[in-house]
Amino acid sequence: MTARQGLGMGSLAMIAAATAACVTRPPTIAHVHIGHAITGVHVTPGHQGYVEVAMGRARETLADAQRASEATGLAGLKSAVAEALSATDDPENFGVKQSLIMAANHISFAATSADASANVAHFAPAFKDDISAVIGRCDYIELLGKDVAASTSMNDARLLVQEILASARANVDGADPRGTGIRGAAPADYGVAQLREEVLEMVARERPTYRTVDEWYLFNLVRLPNGRWVFDKLGRGGNIDGYK
């Protein structure tokens, strides 16, 4: 008989209880906010973290721009560009732009929490600055897309699509304006890939160690009207005072 087989039901129950106690120990408020950025939040498609939503939408934009570049007719080109614009900038369905802004907001919430580490407090303003390159490209894609929608020339529209395609690619993997072969070498060249890596590196520096936050805590952190962050013990997963 092995040691595992020799454990009685009472011993297994005690181990399970002890393990559950460790797992359900409340995380810090700062770590829950970080979890919203990288792990999950109740308002996003698939309950993904905002950075992951941004990456998915950036890839959608790139795929749509690629389809537009391969279109043989103006109507098909315009349709693909319209979908690229929706994936890039969509306040209702978490476009690239909105998702990154929300990620930066939540990391800022983490940094201003009473239990935030110096690591998070130092990182938050830098991350807010570093998303600006992607946000700027999102705005540029939107501007170009409007020109495509108004275009009556296939040749002119194709030229605009090439600009959209370049910006969409940079928003995924970063830009390489100096032709060094390295994309996203500096914050001004960052895409979502570099931003995600930046967040993960910050998380790796956390002391005490960051651990993936349990879904219940992710979905039930709310902000009271007085500004205090608390866990909703009723587990309603709602937004008090409009928190997302």
**Contacts (Cβ under 8 Å, ≥6 apart) of 163:** 140, 144
Nearest Cα to Cα of residue 58 among 90, 33, 32, 30 = 90
**Contacts (Cβ under 8 Å, ≥6 apart) of 94:** 44, 45, 50, 53, 57, 102
Average pLDDT over residues 102-113: 96
Average pLDDT over residues 121-133: 98
pLDDT given for residue 163 in this prediction: 98
pLDDT given for residue 238 in this prediction: 52
Identify the weakest region by mean pLDDT among 4-13, 27-36, 157-166, 206-215: 4-13
pLDDT level of residue 29 (50, 70, 90 thresholds): very high
229 phi/psi in degrees, rounded to 5: -95, 130
pLDDT given for residue 237 in this prediction: 63
Average pLDDT over residues 36-65: 96
